[in-house]
Amino acid sequence: MTALVRIVLIDPSHPGNIGSVARAMKNMALSDLVLVRPRSFPHAEANALAAGADDILSGARVVATVAEAISDVAFVAGTTSRPRNYYWEFTTPRDVAGRIVGLPEEIRAALLFGSERYGLANEDLNHCNVLVRIPANPEYCSLNLAMSVQLLAYELFMSREQPQSRTQLELPLAPSGDVEHFYTHLHQVLNEIDFGDRTGHLMERLRRLFNRAQLDRNELNILRGILSAVQGRRGQSSQRRPPAERPPE
């Protein structure tokens, strides 16, 4: 089950942290590591702190964007220390681990971890189905990157050992790459019909809405079909519109 869980590190600045993350992953039987814009990798310090998890490092992929890191992923959870008054759904490591392990075996999930200094950026949050907060002392809740990965990986490992009820899906969940194409299509149609965005955050809110829904392939195809139908009707309407009269000469 956990072979289909991907750890994604976004903008990691210290190679030693990457090595420590690889060690934490191997402790908990995880192997799929993707690095988004690492400052220094490969690096001798990463190998030193991996402490025998060199195979995780050698198999790690380096990509330029978060979208590329999760293009084949259907469930994305982002770790954050942001306050709960944000509009996303927040959950705990134990809860999200149970949800991931309960997914059908063919579904790939990803856990996103932001940079050591800034955490996840707003544009990273837009990819997430849910956000995870690690419970800690409110007066000192700062965890380093490897600690955070270790805690999430441990909860996944323990959830895997427990009997789980499985989510029964009519069709597999839509991969993140296909969902991104839907968001591009949706934004295009909203512009075509001049749908107002008074706050400037319309697409962010719509992304959160559909991310919570966790669309399967069929649902995504239905929504894309609706958008295409809207575009088709607008095209027909413009063709039926009588030509403008020429002003008298």
pLDDT for position 165: 57
pLDDT at residue 195 tops 50: yes
Q: Which residues are bridge partners to 74 per DSSP?
A: none
Q: For residue 245, tell me if it sits in a domain.
A: no
Reduce the DSSP state of residue 100 to 3 states and report it. Answer: helix
Find the Cα–Cα–Cα–Cα dihedral 204, 206, 209, 211, rounded to 10°: -70
pLDDT confidence of 246, banded at 50, 70, 90?
Answer: very low
Q: Which residues are bridge partners to 131 per DSSP?
A: 78, 90
Domain endpoint, select from 129, 161, 193: 161
Q: For residue 169, tell me if it sits in a domain.
A: no
* Beta-strand pair 5-10/109-113: parallel
96 and 204 share one domain: no
Q: For residue 49, tell me if it sits in a domain.
A: yes
116 and 231 share one domain: no
132 and 187 share one domain: no
Q: For residue 168, tell me if it sits in a domain.
A: no
Joined tokens for residue 135 = 């419970």
- Over residues 100-128, the mean pLDDT reads 92
CATH number at residue 135: 3.40.1280.10
Number of structural domains, the chain?
2
Task: Say what the pTM is.
Answer: 0.75
Residue 37 CB partners (closer than 8 Å, separation 6+)? 10, 11, 64
Distance, CA of 149 to CA of 151 (rounded, Å): 6
147 and 93 share one domain: yes
79 and 184 share one domain: no
Q: For residue 166, tell me if it sits in a domain.
A: no
120 and 226 share one domain: no
Q: Which residue range(s) make up the domain with 56? A: 2-161
Mean pLDDT, all residues of the chain: 88
pLDDT at residue 166 tops 70: no
114 and 55 share one domain: yes
pLDDT for position 249: 44
pLDDT at residue 68 tops 90: yes
55 and 83 share one domain: yes
Q: For residue 167, tell me if it sits in a domain.
A: no
Q: What is the pLDDT of residues 44-65, one digit of tens each?
A: 999 999 999 999 999 999 999 9
Nearest to 176 by CA among 86, 100, 109, 93: 109
Distance, CA of 33 to CA of 59 (rounded, Å): 7
